[in-house]
Chains A and B, each alone.
Chain A
């Protein structure tokens, strides 16, 4: 008995040592939203280079805490840090891949893409001001559609989430009442409605409640064929949530004018842009105490920029436009340095 315990302990110890021996592996932690694509990239990268990447999807808040505690090589967050917060910790952030948030509904007799909404009306619904679907404010946007006299049930995320951050920030951008009464954050004090845990929790409540409206990530809405609404963009056009509409929003954005890459892709110009688009971010230390580790991280992400678009699209994420990737490569050289002041990685 004792002997077998001792054996087991030795085996565990040996395993631990073996794991330590592979120091070349990259470690990261953070947002859950991009976790599937990071895992796919890690698998492809390992097959090609033999270097592994271990990513813990513990949430954006956790990712920020972990990188600040220096327990990981990189952090990942759906919510970009403000330039002041970045500077306070000596961090640098860059966008990795994009997604979007889609309003979904459960209205009998109404097909997907049939109902048009604006940001202001969406905010009024989430504020609890619009209580029935046949409200004149919704009807005015949808002259040809017969809207039922059903009560509106608002569904939101109950867990703190980057998706909620993007959605509520968009509402705050479009509605002064939302900005003052609620604001934009990972979790807010919702004026009304039910909270579902995760995208699946929100989707389940929407499917089960007639007359409900919720919001989920684009990939989730697409894969589960949820009834989405068309949304009005900055140019005044009503667009459907498609990969092309997210890409259009990213092309319209000017990253060169965003200090610290603090840029939300909300309500971007362009006739085809989807208004609730967002990038997810990677956090790194500007000064890399171990330049080899910093180089390994940037090599991995540069490899993803070059070879990862197909895998991302397959999983319904939207790759960054080439111009944005080129800009980030330049910033890596200028911003991420070893203790000796030399760039840790230069893309070839």
Chain B
């Protein structure tokens, strides 16, 4: 019933450890794995099932998105990606508006979030008095825990009116007509636009990037930084020329993870982006993202082609996110030993 018996009678972890230590002590060349009777194969099997279920779920999601979206992809072909007409009445669907909106808002969010996240991480690692380190760290983590719908409501009822009154209107009044700035900021002054959506997104991805950056900076061996200081470098020089290059690859990966989150964010954006399917013409123009379009229309999509077009949009988002994550993976590279 049991496999060949090799271990001691009482197999507690502690006993196993002592045994392992003794084995190293006696310098036995082959470190043999202790056989665990019945439990080990079961445990191994369960782990295997967990891992493969995940893989199967992923394949299943891609498969069902492909099947569901096929009628729309087949009918509109490549124009699904390039045309910005989205008309549920005539059943003509082109997703260029939401695709462009998704990419613009995500990249803008990243541009806004990155400097702040960098500042938070560097402050926490380099300058922060130990007394403040915990509160700030907890605040960053709490920011990550706020449900996105709360951000959406805050954006709609607080940020948008404030933004319209104190930023958008003064800018529109001040900008000389016909100038590049005037073109960049034209739109309805009510705060529901690409830029406010990006600001909300930036606040949402900030804690992720900041937390990962902080952890990365912590992994730098003290010897590396101390030698830089020993050579007479200032704090700024140490951070810019030693710390950052040391974690550069992994940091880019962290940023990509933030981008992945921004791409898929749904509710907060839906509330504040203005939801127009056209190409956004300026920073203060309303637009839409892939996720916001699906959230808006899926419930009431009664036509088969409309449903299919929305599922195809889901597939496009999946592919964009997948590409970003794959890029992050490649940049993170093989796990470095620290």
Contacts and interface: CB of A to CB of B under 8 A. Distances in A.
Interface of A: 58-62, 64, 79, 153, 158-162, 182-190, 193-197, 201, 204-205, 208-209, 212
Given A182-B89, A189-B85, A194 B276 contact: yes
Given A59-B300, A159-B299, A188-B89, A197 B270 contact: yes
Contact of A160 (B160, B276, B301): B301
Nearest to B302: A61
B191 interface: yes
B188 A188 contact: no
Interface string B279-316: 00000001010001001111111100010000000000
Contacts of A182: 89
A13 to B, nearest CB: 21
Contacts of A186: 88, 300-302
A195 B88 contact: no
A205 B297 contact: no
Contacts of A208: 160-161, 164, 190-191
A197 B88 CA distance: 17
Contact of B302 (A64, A159, A184, A209): A64
Interface core residue of A160, A162, A193 (most chain B CB under 10 Å): A160
Interface of B: 85-90, 156-157, 160-161, 164, 188-192, 270-271, 274-277, 286, 288, 292, 295-302, 306
A344 B256 CA distance: 60
B190 A195 contact: no
A205 B192 contact: yes
B87 A194 contact: no
Contacts of A184: 89
Contacts of A62: 299-300
Contacts of B271: 197, 201
Q: What 4 A-B pairs come out closest when comparing CB atoms?
A: A160-B300, A195-B275, A59-B299, A158-B275
A212 B188 CA distance: 10
Nearest to B160: A208
Given A189-B277, A197-B275, A201-B156, 17 more contacts: A60-B300, A61-B299, A62-B300, A158-B292, A159-B297, A159-B300, A160-B88, A160-B299, A160-B301, A184-B89, A186-B88, A187-B297, A190-B276, A194-B188, A194-B276, A195-B276, A209-B190
Nearest to B92: A189
A47 B321 CA distance: 50
A193 B277 CA distance: 11
